[in-house]
Amino acid sequence: TGRTETLEFQAETQALMQLMIHSIYSNKDIFLRELISNGSDALDKLRIESLVNSDLDVDRSDLHLELEPDAEARTLTVRDNGIGMSRDEVVSLIGTIAKSGTAELLRKLRESNSADSAELIGQFGVGFYSSFMVADRVTLLTRRAGESTGTRWESTGEGTYTIEDVDDAPQGTAVTLHLKPVDTDDQLHDYADPAVVRSIVKKYSDFIAWPIRLAGSDEPINSMKALWARPRAEVTEAEYAEFYKHVSHDWTDPLETIHVKAEGTFEYDALLFLPARAPFDLYTRDAQRGVQLYVKRVFIMADCEALVPQYLRFVKGVVDAQDLSLNVSREILQQDRQIQAVRRRLVKKVLGTLRDLQTQHPEKYQTFWAEFGRALKEGLLEDSANREQILDLLSFSSTADPSKLVTLREYVERRPEGQTEIYYLTGDSRATIENSPHLEAFRAKGYEVLVLTDPIDEVWVDQVTEYDGIPLKSVAKGQVDLGSTSAETPAEFDGLLTWMAGALSESVKEVRLSTRLVSSPACVVGDANDLTPTLEKMYRAMGQ
């Protein structure tokens, strides 16, 4: 016992902590929200773990959070009697930032100016480290439920931390902030003042489901009211926004709130949010997915993938069901018919909300599209039942006006008479596509061509062959019938074509006359069934 070690923070963690210490984020109050949110998560985890493992030696008699401001010592302690952490967990959870996208975030932070960096870091969410905005030293004392030895962790945020074993730690975690001095004219931000602490809790953490008490008092200072169970008209936008930040770990307000109350055979409340910014890991394998599941106000699990499909993984929020077992597992949920019905309903709700944004709030829709459009396109492959609805939500660049996006509906409505197909071209970038000789005849005819540059575009265009009964066609594949643009009869070219086919026999399958060129003498096209060049490249890069 008494093993004391001084360890170094991981380089990325150090860089992020420096940013917090030198406080790029103007609203310092939110550190308390972060610590309370961690305490609340720890209480949830304890409840779940003691359900799953009834042998676990835990005290769950009075689960709560406690805040202890101490004006004399100039400290604020945030305490929970939740799951706690083992020594190894402290090292891995508090000493490192395991979030994917950390490196990417740091690169962006280095390139951005300080006003942007506050926003970037808020988007990333630095949780526990936000303590260093208000404290020059942080002590964490913790004992994991079921273990006998506790751990004390301490750091000034300057590159290293100490960690030691402690014999007499209570179950759970206590984080003590040694507060930075406050200006005398800044009493509102004196976190050693109980009145200040109380008002911050009211503002940011009122809905937390566990009692939050001030040390020495039994009265909770939060109302613990589940927002989703209240009538929509009684909840303010600010309350929704704070709740969103709690469930999403995002620091920015949501783009849209969806509140569903389902009555009938399977009753549930759902409170879902569309974020305004994509998380850094949205397109990585460890992207968190799904919303939280509650049963009768009791937290059951985070990231419940049975409730939202993969392509809507950016949707955050809560579903609270009336009639489910508290012991329900992920596997059971995947099979449950009622959960499947909830999921279908929620998908419809989300797609319907997006449709409303698109038609009534185009600016919001553009924000959504820029952040999440690529994910939504995955739905064309994943969710064929809603394919038409998803197709209507897509926006594309096109050859018409580089600065504007076009929907399929608009494309179809404005196409010239005689054009019977929807044309697109896939490629790495707009520039490559625009220089393609494939486009010449389409330009000459005044036909608009959709410019598809997302890697996922290559995949869905293979599956989706029409929109509203109108064929979708790649201008780079097979025969495109634009009507003859040349007066010569093909027979005159027989000799030339045979000679060329012979000369190029190593490289091409066939040489034929084309109606798609105007000024270029020749272009290479794929067979209707061939891979497109981008896909071919993608597969080659993957070693196939």
DSSP single-letter state for residue 280:
T
Q: Does 42 bind ligand ADP (CB under 6 A)?
A: yes
Question: CA 257 → CA 271, 349, 357, 457, distances in Å?
Answer: 7, 11, 12, 29
Which does residue 279 bind out of ligand ADP, Mg ion, none, counting CB within 5 to 8 angstroms by kind? none
CB of 143 to ligand ADP, least distance (A): 10
The pair of structure tokens assigned to 423 is 């044309």
The order of strands in the sheet holding 135-143 is 4-8, 160-166, 150-155, 135-143, 172-179, 75-80, 65-70, 212-214
Binding to ligand ADP by CB under 6 A, coded x per residue (else -) over 169-208, reads ----x-----------------------------------
The smaller minimum CB distance to ligand ADP, of residues 189 and 249, is found at 249
The Cα–Cα gap between 409 and 395 comes to 10
Indicate which single residue of 13, 29, 38, 314 sits in contact with Mg ion (rule: CB under 5 A).
Answer: 38
The order of strands in the sheet holding 298-304 is 256-262, 268-274, 316-321, 291-295, 298-304
Buried b (16+ CB within 10 A) or exposed e, 483-502: eeeeeeeeeeeeeeeeeeee
* Candidates 79-87, 205-213, 250-258, 479-487; binding stretch for ligand ADP (CB under 6 A): 79-87
DSSP single-letter state for residue 493:
G
* Candidates 78-86, 158-166, 212-220, 232-240; binding stretch for ligand ADP (CB under 6 A): 78-86
Which of 447, 326, 344 lies closest to 47 in space, CA to CA? 326
CB of 238 to ligand ADP, least distance (A): 22
Indicate which single residue of 101, 127, 194, 427 sits in contact with Mg ion (rule: CB under 5 A).
Answer: 127
The pair of structure tokens assigned to 36 is 């309370």
The smaller minimum CB distance to ligand ADP, of residues 130 and 426, is found at 130
Q: Name 520's Cβ contacts closer than 8 Å, sequence gap at least 6.
A: 437, 440
What residues does 467 pair with on adjacent strands? 470
The smaller minimum CB distance to ligand ADP, of residues 150 and 437, is found at 150
Cβ proximity of 309 and 290 under 8 Å: no
Q: How many CB atoms sit inside 10 A of residue 34's CB? A: 23
Cβ proximity of 353 and 274 under 8 Å: yes
The smaller minimum CB distance to Mg ion, of residues 130 and 399, is found at 130
Q: Does 64 bind ligand ADP (CB under 6 A)?
A: no
The smaller minimum CB distance to Mg ion, of residues 38 and 292, is found at 38
Which does residue 80 bind out of ligand ADP, Mg ion, none, counting CB within 5 to 8 angstroms by kind? ligand ADP
Which does residue 373 bind out of ligand ADP, Mg ion, none, counting CB within 5 to 8 angstroms by kind? none
Question: CA 332 → CA 298, 319, 326, 338, distances in Å?
Answer: 18, 16, 12, 11
The Cα–Cα gap between 222 and 206 comes to 5
CB of 129 to ligand ADP, least distance (A): 6
CB of 449 to ligand ADP, least distance (A): 44
* Candidates 123-131, 185-193, 225-233, 395-403; binding stretch for ligand ADP (CB under 6 A): 123-131
Indicate which single residue of 24, 83, 262, 295 sits in contact with ligand ADP (rule: CB under 6 A).
Answer: 83
The Cα–Cα gap between 346 and 228 comes to 15
Number of residues that bind ligand ADP (CB under 6 A): 16
Number of residues that bind Mg ion (CB under 5 A): 2
The Cα–Cα gap between 389 and 408 comes to 11
CB of 39 to Mg ion, least distance (A): 9
* Candidates 33-41, 221-229, 322-330, 429-437; binding stretch for ligand ADP (CB under 6 A): 33-41
The smaller minimum CB distance to ligand ADP, of residues 90 and 315, is found at 90
Binding to ligand ADP by CB under 6 A, coded x per residue (else -) over 272-311, reads ----------------------------------------
SS3 397: strand
The pair of structure tokens assigned to 345 is 């309903």
The pair of structure tokens assigned to 385 is 């039942």
What's the one-letter identity of residue 488? E
Which does residue 42 bind out of ligand ADP, Mg ion, none, counting CB within 5 to 8 angstroms by kind? ligand ADP
Which does residue 135 bind out of ligand ADP, Mg ion, none, counting CB within 5 to 8 angstroms by kind? none
Which does residue 361 bind out of ligand ADP, Mg ion, none, counting CB within 5 to 8 angstroms by kind? none
Cβ proximity of 272 and 317 under 8 Å: yes
Segment 88 to 107, residues that bind ligand ADP, using CB under 6 A: 93-94
Indicate which single residue of 44, 66, 68, 80 sits in contact with ligand ADP (rule: CB under 6 A).
Answer: 80
DSSP single-letter state for residue 68:
E
The Cα–Cα gap between 90 and 413 comes to 60
Q: Does 39 bind Mg ion (CB under 5 A)?
A: no
Binding site for ligand ADP (CB under 6 A): 34, 38-39, 42, 80, 82-85, 93-94, 125, 127-128, 173, 249
Binding site for Mg ion (CB under 5 A): 38, 127
